[in-house]
Structure 1
Amino acid sequence: MPQRSLKAGVPLASVALLLGVLVVQVFPALPRGLVLSLAVTGLGAGATACWLSRRARSLGWILFGVAWAMWRGAAAMDARLPHALEGEVLLVTGQLLDLPDPRADGTRFAFRIDSARLDGRQVAWHGRVRLAWYDPSRVLRPCERWQLRVRLRRPRGMIDPGGADTERTALERRIDAVGYVREGGDNRRLGASACVDRLRLHLAASIDARMADPHDAALLRALAVGDTRGLDPDDWAVARATGVSHLLAISGFHVGVAAAFGVGLVWPIYALFPGLGLRCPRSRAQAAAALVAALAYGLLAGMGLPTLRTLLMIAVAVVARSRRRHLDGRHALAMALLVMLLVDPLSVLAAGFWLSFVGVAFLMLCLGVQGRSWRTFARELVRGQWVMSIALLPLTLWFFGQASLVGALSNLVAVPVVSLLMVPATLLAVLALLLCPPLAAPMLALAAATGHALWWLLARMASWPGAAWYLPAVTPWALGLAMLGALWMLAPRGTPCRWLGGLLFLPLLLPARPPIPAGGFQAWVFDVGQGLSVLVRTHRHAMLYDAGARYPSGFDVGAAAVVPSLRALGVRRLDLLMISHGDNDHAGGAGAVLEAFHVPRRLAGEPSRMPMPMAPCVAGQSWHWDGVTFRVLNPHGRPSHDNDRSCVLLVEGGGDRLLLTGDITRRVEGDVAAGVPSGRPVAMTVPHHGSETSSGAAFIAALHPALAMVSAGWHNRFGHPRPAVVARYRAAGVPLLNTASEGALRLDFPVDAPVRAWPGERLRQSRYWRER
């Protein structure tokens, strides 16, 4: 292909292919079997026909992208654990992948299953899984082969507004199942082999052994080998608040520094042996050395998306140089995008894909090389941070629901310090650790001292007012307008009225839903697995009833699901936090909620079991917000059973009513039913997640709820809701909704109309990778 045709065709082809791949990502389901084969064949034929016509070539790439993404997506979904094997105990053999993550309660690790047996019979399934082994004494190393007895399930996550989509992440990372290791004599190590991850672990341990400060060691491990296991949630909170998360692991720019390091190694060789230039031009040797150095560093990094994008760009430049062709950065980026989509179309599901390619594209659009003086470098560095802050703001809010107001300033300091001081020093230290370990000490000391000072500054910047900026969930149309506004604002000089582009960012500030009228209210029953958390909002007030669980592993549902949901729904302040009782699945996430929001009033059914001060919740308490009345119906005195001390709350507006029941049992259900005045219909949460000890027939008959909602975990070990309980509600004609199967539930209580239950978030956010 002529060079002029290449320059014109590659960008169009990459964009067209991207559009085709993106079309598939909004499909609620993919065709299967014969239908999939016919669809791919038809689209392939259409793409071929379009390819033969120059004018329709872009359409051909789009059709090819649709077919390619459908085929790869279906193959990835078919590779997941068969439903028939969920919950079964399998005897598997395979190999550890990546770096195991040891914690206080055990070790988390990736494992490639090569063979599996069920009850002595071979099972025709293999795949990549994420496992937890709850035995802190076990020491696991990368690339070891093990025989393990495991219990697995398909990757299924909680679906909430603003919450992380773990099912999408599992598909993008090819995680076919998750589970845990069961103790037993069958678990045994089979052997080990050499691999890059084993080298990464060795280098990480070498850095640890030479560092006095564990936090300094964690920062250097992240830069040297992409090992972020030593960074705790507080570290990531500082990074998010200052917008430097991309610097905590090996980024694309760091790989570029490694490539420049490779170029620098070639220069003295040609200076000492100039005759080499007659056999191999120095430019070609430098390009090859840059690729080798970048590839080596990328392998140490774990080959993330930004790393792979940079490697592809370097590879394109090397190939172009070897063929004596000149490709500028924009065409190299387009070629990297094209190759990335051809290799892995599912990479578009990752936030890193968009932040990486869009960020580099805007930098190439807005920055240019206008000299090599330090003043020009300083000016371009400042402009670069301004460009990245504006260009990536909409995408950051879309993917993470937050942005950093100090990000431009903190990156202006952190980027040159990390990329020009810490990364080169760390690279030299890694090279020394491999060739002559004693020489690594001064380089590690320099990188550690620099990182220590930088983190001290970033931690203080993270505490500045407004450092972390949260907005309600971004709608697709608001995202599109904001990206158009960024393109307009950062357009070349001479573009008319560039400042007007800032107006297109304003829809990001608009709430996704209309305000609640006085006398009406809204409730969200969040999907928190085996637990409970309910948000109740009136015209100007908001309260949270329960906050989900916090597990010994450190996973906090309050921080992972409840707080992001509150922020995505636009809640800026909670007027009341009510914890029904002290059980972990209701109270465990309260600490994360109180850390994220100012809550002036706190009530609990068992304040003595709470780790923070809370006032007691007692029957008879009541208050009024915006024409809505809140009344506490339980506990009466001090019941003997912990669950019966649950706060029971009745919310009454101008229309239907809501009853929040906690974990009460049949012992007190009669008293609660007697406290609910007859009249308007009631929607209620099913007591104790549908346990046999609750939801007696008399209780259901007395209330005859218009709607009942179960908050339970998918295939939870308690069997909630119990079949007998479900049968009682069905026999009474009560519609039953379950967060386990439908995700978070939204209920609107209008002033002059019946309660309206919207489709659950699992149905509303229906995608082909969603578990059903």
Structure 2
Amino acid sequence: MGAEPLTHLPGTGAEPPARPARVPVLGLATAALLVAGAAGCLALPALPPRWMLLVALIGGAAAWMRGRMAGRLLGAAFAGAALCGLHAMHSLALQLPASLERADVEVSGRVVQLPLHEAQRTRFAFRVDSAETIVPALRGRLLRLAWYDDRGVEADARRMDLAPGSRWAFTVRVRAPRGLRNPGWLDSEKHAMAARVTAAGYVRTRSAVDQVGSAGGMDAWRDAVAGRIDAAVGTDTARYVRALAIGDTRALGDLDWETLRATGLTHLVAISGFHVGMVGGFFALLAGALWWAVPRLGRVLPRPQGAALVALAASTGYAAVAGWELPTVRTVLMIAVVAAARLARRRLHIADALAYAATAVILVGPMAVLSAGFWLSFAGVAWLVWCLPDAREVSMARGLLASQWVATLGLLPLTAALFGQASLAGPLANLVAIPWWSLVVVPLALVGTGLEALHSGAGDWAWRLAAAAFDLSWPLFDRLAASPVALWWLPGPHVLAVPLALLGAFWMLMPRGVPGRALAALLWLPLLWPDRALPADGEAELVVLDVGQGLAVLVRTRTHAVLYDTGPAVPDGFDAGERVVVPALQALGVRRLDAIVVSHGDADHAGGFDAVQRRYAAPVVFAPQWDRVPGASPCLAGSGWRMDGVQFRFVHPDVHFPAFRNPSSCVLRVDTALGAALLPGDIDAVVERLLLHRDADALRADVVVAAHHGSRTSSDPAFVRGSGARHVLVSAGHGNRFGHPHAGVVERWIDAGAWVAGTAEGGALRLRLGAGEARVTPERQRRPRLWDAARRAAAGGGARERAALSYSDD
């Protein structure tokens, strides 16, 4: 009576059937699938419909919570993908409607984050008021704005008054966030979507500009502390102390970042998760000492739980000081998980804390997977947790060496994929920087920040000591960065190269005795030495880079490369040579430039020359004889050279042509065994007719880069007919104020039977003069992104853009 039924006979050896294994709802496996689902969604070329995402979210969440093994894992993946898709859809819906593109609107709101003051402009983030703004589409939205110097002393002084937390009312000209698209890892549109930026634009200083509220809040305090650090340190090292103390990297220039990348120290120079963990650990020790000194506190809350809560509060406050960067958020979440486990009196492993933190990040903000910091921070901790033994079992020196080896090898595939580079000097630099900066420089910087929070000026001595300690180590890193082998730039890898390299790293980090560890290095080959798809002998590839309103064209043969123009640059502002041309050449696997041709000295063609030449040091430079380009030889008509069966020849200007700036541009003709290309710079219709009269055969070409960005003063009808071009490539900025390319010019080329493709619509344009029909491949089509599809849908898919993105399908 009441006896349970026998499920097996005692003594017979028969056992009850095993129950199916279950995967924990919150664990490493489900966290990994949740992250993979979110990343997979953002890799799609377009988002599914909203109803489909909602169904996937509900079904995936149910399977994740109630399923077993495969069902739970698949449910986590579907839930992560659907949640990320809904967030992405909302972020894209926040962007500026097409009806307001390049419109002037009156806004009022607050300056958020830290504005960057430059010589001729100030860049800042602006949160529009929710109620008072006239345009409903901008209420409560985040704008990225610039305030340019209008050459007035009083106006410039007002621009410098733009402080964090201050409130302003002005008129801005706005446009939807749009960036340049080139080979490589830079994608400003991706970052704008992740940050939920509605529009970008600039302040119209000729309209009323009124400050309606003074500075205040955490960002204002950070800005004030940055000023105190500058005053206390008094040397250039102050910019690094600012970065280490409060996460303010505004003063770090391009050369500073070059040095940090070459030495693999970018993860240390700004506030990282380690710094937040250090603050939390320090306050946990202080709390433990307080509980020991005042035993009565233990009656209210046991010491371990009290120390955990104090550590969480301190780390949260410091993450706010650091601007809530992702590595700091990840560390705060891990500390919160540990604190919750302490309060619940449960034992928690580091791997579990990592999984819980990753799950929390995805559930709160799934588009964090767009950030390189997400992958590097979580992957770094995961590698260390999996590979390293208990710290109590090894010496400190051995543990440091082992952790550096694991981090270098384990994160190299991600670093190569995310940044296209590998720091060969990084392991040595980190062996010095990690203990010295983390145990001396950073604590002193943090002590200074903490004392400053208590009393203004109290932390000056600590900041000065931090700067002195930093200066002791920096000369070593500067010399390492100057080494020609410090940084290895890698071409853009195949989609399967990164998983194979991660598998190789996993295999190589297996315990001793596992067979074939040396053979695992072969799995790295697709990442480190990818196929660059170079032209054959007698062939050439043209890549018209997307540099905005300017020009930069790479002409590549089997073993050589020539750069025609270097993109635009403005003083103390955007330098396409540094920001676009050099990274794109590195992503394309260009290890050296055999020649640079500067068509003429205008800033939109020659502005990036110094940055490109600093990186590549081309042995030969050509420019018009009247333009003062350093080390340049004149590009005289009739001169030329031959590479890999491809003939390069200048057809303009001749030695007697006067110095007329645009009309004096170097006109370069590239002849291959299977076609020709013409690069005319900024010549006008008069010069086009002159060249046609002088040597019409020299203008016959299969491919023409439209002169002067498609201006109506160029592309003369006779020149268009005489060239006989099948493809015309236009380099112009999206929505530029000059109206390039002119509609009449585009129509003229189309009527002559040419396909017209523009960088403004398609990004960088690639075309090969080789076997088979020449075809243009826009970068936006070669690597489609879901934000491209959303932008085209919002704009109604203009005819010109549809045409530009469909050329390679013809």
- Shorter-chain TM-score range: over 0.9
Q: State the distance in 2 between where 1:330 and 1:689 align.
A: 55
Alignment of 1:176-575 (within 5 A): 176-192=198-214, 194-213=216-235, 215-371=236-392, 376-437=395-456, 439-575=458-594
The corresponding residue for 1:706 is: 726
1:284 is displaced (CA, Å) by: 0.6
Q: State the distance in 2 between where 1:366 and 1:160 align.
A: 37
Using the size of structure 1 for normalisation, the TM-score is 0.95
The corresponding residue for 2:779 is: 761
Q: Secondary structure at the match of 2:596?
A: strand
Q: Secondary structure at the match of 2:787?
A: coil
Q: Given the alignment, which residue of 120, 145, 154 partners 1:131?
A: 145
Q: State the distance in 2 between where 1:124 and 1:462 align.
A: 45
The corresponding residue for 2:72 is: 57
1:202 is displaced (CA, Å) by: 2.0
The corresponding residue for 2:8 is: none
Larger CA deviation: 48-57 vs 544-553: 48-57
CA separation of 1:46 and 1:597: change in aligned 2, threshold 3 A: closer
Q: Deviations over 1:674-699 (max 9, x none)?
A: 53528975210011111111001111
Q: Secondary structure at the match of 1:677?
A: helix
Larger CA deviation: 64-73 vs 43-52: 43-52
Which sections of structure 2, spanning at least 5 residues, go unmatched? 1-20, 150-155, 793-810
Larger CA deviation: 135-144 vs 612-621: 135-144
The corresponding residue for 2:195 is: 173
1:5 is displaced (CA, Å) by: 7.7
CA contact (8 A) 2:669 2:676 kept: yes
Structure 2 residue identity aligned to 1:458: F
Q: Deviations over 1:662-721 (max 9, x none)?
A: 001011102333535289752100111111110011111111211111100001000001
CA contact (8 A) 2:553 2:565 kept: yes
Q: State the distance in 1 between where 2:208 and 2:511 align.
A: 66
Structure 2 residue identity aligned to 1:129: L
Q: Secondary structure at the match of 2:491?
A: coil
Q: State the distance in 1 between where 2:506 and 2:533 align.
A: 29
CA contact (8 A) 2:47 2:786 kept: yes
The corresponding residue for 1:26 is: 43
Identity %: 43
1:167 is displaced (CA, Å) by: 0.5
Structure 2 residue identity aligned to 1:295: T
1:516 is displaced (CA, Å) by: 1.7
The corresponding residue for 1:682 is: 702
1:83 is displaced (CA, Å) by: 1.2
Structure 2 residue identity aligned to 1:20: G
Structure 2 residue identity aligned to 1:330: A
Structure 2 residue identity aligned to 1:434: A
CA contact (8 A) 1:576 1:599 kept: yes
The corresponding residue for 1:723 is: 743
CA contact (8 A) 2:600 2:666 kept: yes
Q: Secondary structure at the match of 2:766?
A: strand
Q: Given the alignment, which residue of 741, 744, 755 partners 2:761?
A: 741
CA separation of 1:43 and 1:342: change in aligned 2, threshold 3 A: closer
The corresponding residue for 2:635 is: 617
Q: Secondary structure at the match of 2:600?
A: coil
The corresponding residue for 2:164 is: 142
1:383 is displaced (CA, Å) by: 1.0
The corresponding residue for 2:717 is: 697
Alignment of 1:586-665 (within 5 A): 586-610=605-629, 612-636=630-654, 637-639=656-658, 641-665=660-684
1:48 is displaced (CA, Å) by: 2.2
CA contact (8 A) 2:167 2:211 kept: yes
Q: Given the alignment, which residue of 5, 27, 31 partners 1:10?
A: 27
CA contact (8 A) 2:230 2:238 kept: yes
CA contact (8 A) 2:413 2:501 kept: yes
1:45 is displaced (CA, Å) by: 3.3
1:607 is displaced (CA, Å) by: 4.7
Q: Deviations over 1:462-493 (max 9, x none)?
A: 11230011121122211111111111111233
CA separation of 1:62 and 1:154: change in aligned 2, threshold 3 A: same
CA contact (8 A) 2:566 2:598 kept: yes
- 1:90 paired to 2:110: no
Structure 2 residue identity aligned to 1:61: A
Q: State the distance in 2 between where 1:466 and 1:17 align.
A: 39
1:627 is displaced (CA, Å) by: 1.2
The corresponding residue for 1:732 is: 752
Structure 2 residue identity aligned to 1:288: L
Structure 1 residue identity aligned to 2:647: T
Which sections of structure 1, spanning at least 5 residues, go unmatched? none
Q: State the distance in 2 between where 1:106 and 1:46 align.
A: 48
- 1:48 paired to 2:48: no
CA contact (8 A) 2:128 2:138 kept: no
Structure 1 residue identity aligned to 2:786: Y
CA separation of 1:184 and 1:117: change in aligned 2, threshold 3 A: farther
Q: Deviations over 1:2-59 (max 9, x none)?
A: xx9896742222112112212211221224xxx4134423552354256433241222
Q: State the distance in 2 between where 1:450 and 1:460 align.
A: 17
Q: State the distance in 1 between where 2:599 and 2:345 align.
A: 72
Q: State the distance in 2 between where 1:412 and 1:38 align.
A: 50
Q: Secondary structure at the match of 1:609?
A: coil
Q: Secondary structure at the match of 1:363?
A: helix
CA separation of 1:704 and 1:216: change in aligned 2, threshold 3 A: same
Structure 2 residue identity aligned to 1:58: L
The corresponding residue for 2:796 is: none
CA contact (8 A) 2:538 2:645 kept: yes
1:507 is displaced (CA, Å) by: 1.6
1:275 is displaced (CA, Å) by: 2.4
The corresponding residue for 2:81 is: 66
Structure 1 residue identity aligned to 2:736: N
CA separation of 1:43 and 1:304: change in aligned 2, threshold 3 A: closer
- CA-based RMSD: 2.0
CA contact (8 A) 1:473 1:512 kept: no
CA contact (8 A) 1:93 1:115 kept: no
Q: State the distance in 2 between where 1:680 and 1:555 align.
A: 36
Q: State the distance in 2 between where 1:679 and 1:424 align.
A: 66
Q: State the distance in 2 between where 1:534 and 1:386 align.
A: 40
Q: State the distance in 2 between where 1:470 and 1:403 align.
A: 6
Q: State the distance in 2 between where 1:511 and 1:170 align.
A: 30
The corresponding residue for 1:79 is: 94
Q: State the distance in 1 between where 2:555 and 2:131 align.
A: 47
Q: State the distance in 1 between where 2:218 and 2:337 align.
A: 24
Structure 1 residue identity aligned to 2:36: L
